[in-house]
Structure 1
Amino acid sequence: MECKVCLEPYDDSHKRPRVLPCGHTFCSPCIRGLVQDGYLPCPTCRTEHVIPGDYSFFPIVFEFEELLNRVKHTRGTPATSSSSSPSSVTSSGRPRRERGSAISKKLTNLKVEQESSMCQSTSACVRMRRQLAMYKASLVEWEREHRQLAGDLRRFVQLNEEVERLLAREREAVERMQLEGVDKTQQLRTARRTLIEVRSSQDTFDALNHGDFAQDEAEDWMLKCREAFPGVDAVRKSVKVRAATSKAVSQMFRETRNCSDVPLTPAEERYSDIISLADIFADQANSLTDPDPSAEESVSECLAVPQESVSDSLCLADEIVSEPIHVAEDSVFEAVRVEGSEADLVTDGEDADGGEGAEDDSTILRKVRHIQFTATVDLTAESLSLMREPVRAMLEAGEVYVVQEGQRHVRSAKLSLREDMICLHHLQEKHPPALARTISYCEVEAMLDYSYALTFLELAWPGSPPRRVYIRLSPDSGRGRQFVMLCSGEKGHSYANTNFLRVKNKGLRGECLQGGDYNFNSGVGGHNIIPGLACNGEYKRRDVTGSVGAVYTNALNGAQFYIRTRGRPAVNRFTVFGQVEKGLEVAAAAIALQDVKKET
């Protein structure tokens, strides 16, 4: 028999027969030559077989070799005589088949059938071995993934331990402040008793001075508390890690509840259901508003206020009025309206000295609740565009900042909310406040539609609060983009803190306010930051009231702009890139000033 590829007979040394998983047999050299990039296409049925190693992966058909050897041996042995001598017949009289004699056709057919069946079994074994090999590879990969997950879990545990240490340091700082507060409270009580018991004028003056000193000390202590607590980093990390851990653990126990033969402990059972973040925050709020009854005595001691002191101004209000709370430079926290009984730790009755209980300053608790409310929010361009709670609350509080990271410095700018519009202020070379939530400048910039962008200039001069002029840039143009970049400070230079330069045609048609020299603030600068800006029909507009355009067209002064307060509709201008949409009266008021250069 011969190979179907090279048409040469098989042998038991070089051209040994090997069987493919599809059941077809070829010699070893041909199989080796057919292997390409780990695949072997069968020349007969075109089935592609994956080879994890070399051609020796396909087994040798030993039965086929044995059959070939027998055939060769039979062909090489001369046929014996079929005489009916006594030694050549069996006891039943049938001819005896001598060893090495020719095989009958029927037996040959049986051998061929058996060989084919064995080839199929061999192929089935090879396929099974391949499945076992693939299954083993899957098991090895799963073991690797479990080791990696175990490492991730260990890092997760380490993160929890790190937050625990952070909270422990925060708690120790609070305890130190509590002890200091007990001292301040005792000083106030002592000063009050002295003030009550004095009988002479000199003693009264001394008691008043002592009382003023004690009150100043107490005020300083309370100010330190407001500035030090809450630790934004500790609270925010704690909220995030607890929320993520609770969610992950509850999901893990819910999904793997029936995977272990060991019953869950009561502590583990509580994670069998999904824990919502709302429940977590509700528990946190309760922990803040419902103090431990065992601590009532110490709390009362710290919060009690003398009855004879200015109690009219310190009486417990029914509710706490919303008020701005300054938490960091350039950042204002807006307190929410909450019921006094819910927000504050209040003492009932009188203290040992007869003074009525009073509410504590709940600024710290408000900050804590606000951090809890916003800590788990993913601040993205999408969440900004939807502007749902608590993103709106963060914008209203002035806590959202964009960050532009450079090679040598970090620049940031505040995002504020005004008339339901998100306003991007100019970038400055400083880090955002500690309480701020940040988003990349690139993400915010991607939200900007240059074909209909709305920018604002905030004008201020002595005796007047900052007022805004809103300018709509339409359509999309190079000069409009340059104006946006200089308003935001994207490229480093900015119109911020520059003065207006002059008023042209004051009181006449064509009156306008000119500015934009960010280089020298004198009128000789204002270089283009976008090269190649032209003066063509793209900027051709009627010179109407409220139009905004470039004062010059050259590259050295091309960033200077004007705001037209009295139009000339009959005249065409070729540098107009925007129109005042709101606040034109602010520009008119600026023109009315005696010295326009005092405006910024």
Structure 2
Amino acid sequence: MKKCQELFPDVITVTTSKKVRDVTNKALMMVDGEADATQHTNQLSDMTLPIMDKVDILLNDNKFEELEEVKPDNRENQNDHIYFNVTLDQKWFFFHCLQNQNLLPETLTLPVSEMVKRLNPTYNFTFLDMAWSGRRERVYIQVNHNITEARQFVDLCTGQRGSSFFNTRLTRVWNKGKAGECVFGGNYDFGLKRMLSDGCCDEGTVMFMSHTEESGEFIINTNGKSPQFGIVIGYLWNSGLKVLQEVAQLSDITQVTVVHCGVRVDAYSS
């Protein structure tokens, strides 16, 4: 305690300087483009200037109270400050949903910009890790990036807009065991009557119905041809159809949880 008192005789000064340090970057952003920006930057970067003098400079700035109003999404480099949990399998990066979740073994972190620059402008592969009764299976969905609803589906897999499919459950099976069987899931439940629309979809088709930019419901055809319940955004890939067909026969499909989700990209693409 004595050593602390010797090092930090004025706790108020230390607390204030810490607060200033946390917001200094924001302060510099706000004065960036102002007439006195260069003057402020030079003063704050002067190593000979006492810390409390720098505090006074910031506190006396008439824009200081506006610092909390600065939104990161107004900055072009915002993606460099948000990080994905990433796993690597052979030549693929798996960017996992931006949510509070348990890290997978040997998880890496990469900025969002690393994922964005690797996204294919035509199509992308999303993944949903589904778990039930001690089992866990990964389902891949190839989505058409040229469709607005498909891009929204990708956002809900990655959590870039805040909301996601992470920790959601499958909600129902339509026409169970019959031709046109479909599995429903997502972070919003429209109800069957609102979903039904004209059109016909093949087995393995993935449809999506948007509620808001941050919510919607996906529908996956698991048997024969089905009505078009929403906008067709893509198709199941590899063994995904087999997994969903098995899931559809469960006595209670709501026990199936999306425990992880995200997007798969080529680790070696530029």
Q: TM-score, normalised by structure 2?
A: 0.55
* Contiguous gaps of at least 5 residues in structure 2: 1-78, 192-197, 258-270
The reply on whether 1:479 has 2:136 as its aligned counterpart is: no
From 557, 568, 585, the counterpart of 2:225: 568
From 455, 477, 486, the counterpart of 2:126: 455
The reply on whether 1:423 has 2:94 as its aligned counterpart is: yes
From 194, 214, 234, the counterpart of 1:578: 234
Kept in 2: contact 1:426–1:494 (CA 8 A):
yes
From 150, 160, 166, the counterpart of 1:490: 160
- Partner residue in 1 for 2:14: none
Question: 1:193-232 counterparts in 2 under 5 A?
Answer: none
Kept in 2: contact 1:541–1:574 (CA 8 A):
no
Q: Kindly state the Cα deviation for residue 491 of structure 1 after the two structures are TM-superposed.
A: 1.0
Hey, what's the Cα distance between the residues in 1 that align with 2:150 and 2:180? Answer: 22
Kept in 2: contact 1:459–1:467 (CA 8 A):
yes
Alignment CA distance shift 1:432-1:404 (3 Å): farther
How many pairs does the alignment contain?
Answer: 172
Q: Kindly state the Cα deviation for residue 413 of structure 1 after the two structures are TM-superposed.
A: 2.9
From 92, 110, 113, the counterpart of 1:442: 113
Alignment CA distance shift 1:420-1:516 (3 Å): same
Hey, what's the Cα distance between the residues in 2 that align with 1:482 and 1:441? Answer: 16
Hey, what's the Cα distance between the residues in 1 that align with 2:243 and 2:107? Answer: 31
Identify, as 1 or 2, the structure richer in strand: 2
Deviations along 1:566-597, one digit per CA (max 9) or x if unpaired, are 1317x666610111112211111211111111
From 404, 414, 420, the counterpart of 2:85: 414
Alignment CA distance shift 1:450-1:599 (3 Å): farther
Runs (4+) off by over 6 Å: 430-433
Question: 1:65-464 counterparts in 2 under 5 A?
Answer: 405=81, 412-418=83-89, 420-429=91-100, 438-464=109-135
Specify the code of the residue in structure 1 equivalent to 2:187.
D
Kept in 1: contact 2:162–2:214 (CA 8 A):
no
Deviations along 1:343-398, one digit per CA (max 9) or x if unpaired, are xxxxxxxxxxxxxxxxxxxxxxxxxxxxxxxxxxxxxxxxxxxxxxxxxxxxxxxx
Alignment CA distance shift 1:566-1:450 (3 Å): farther
Kept in 2: contact 1:503–1:512 (CA 8 A):
yes
Kept in 2: contact 1:480–1:577 (CA 8 A):
yes
- Partner residue in 1 for 2:51: none
Alignment CA distance shift 1:481-1:438 (3 Å): same
Hey, what's the Cα distance between the residues in 1 that align with 2:94 and 2:113? Answer: 15
Hey, what's the Cα distance between the residues in 2 that align with 1:491 and 1:504? Answer: 29
Deviations along 1:201-230, one digit per CA (max 9) or x if unpaired, are xxxxxxxxxxxxxxxxxxxxxxxxxxxxxx
Specify the code of the residue in structure 1 equivalent to 2:224.
G
- Partner residue in 2 for 1:559: 216
Name the SS of the counterpart of 1:514 in structure 2: strand
Q: TM-score, normalised by structure 1?
A: 0.26
Name the SS of the counterpart of 1:500 in structure 2: coil
Identity of aligned residues (%): 32
Alignment CA distance shift 1:502-1:556 (3 Å): farther
Specify the code of the residue in structure 2 equivalent to 1:514.
F
Hey, what's the Cα distance between the residues in 2 that align with 1:429 and 1:557? Answer: 17
Specify the code of the residue in structure 1 equivalent to 2:201.
D
Alignment CA distance shift 1:516-1:596 (3 Å): same
Kept in 2: contact 1:474–1:577 (CA 8 A):
yes
Hey, what's the Cα distance between the residues in 2 that align with 1:427 and 1:577? Answer: 22
Name the SS of the counterpart of 2:165 in structure 1: coil
Q: Kindly state the Cα deviation for residue 430 of structure 1 after the two structures are TM-superposed.
A: 7.9
Name the SS of the counterpart of 1:503 in structure 2: strand
The reply on whether 1:546 has 2:217 as its aligned counterpart is: no
* Higher RCO (CA 8 Å, separation ≥ 6 residues): 2
Specify the code of the residue in structure 1 equivalent to 2:155.
M
Q: Kindly state the Cα deviation for residue 463 of structure 1 after the two structures are TM-superposed.
A: 2.4
Look at both structures and tell me which one has the larger radius of gyration over its CA atoms.
Answer: 1
Alignment CA distance shift 1:432-1:562 (3 Å): closer
Kept in 2: contact 1:412–1:429 (CA 8 A):
no
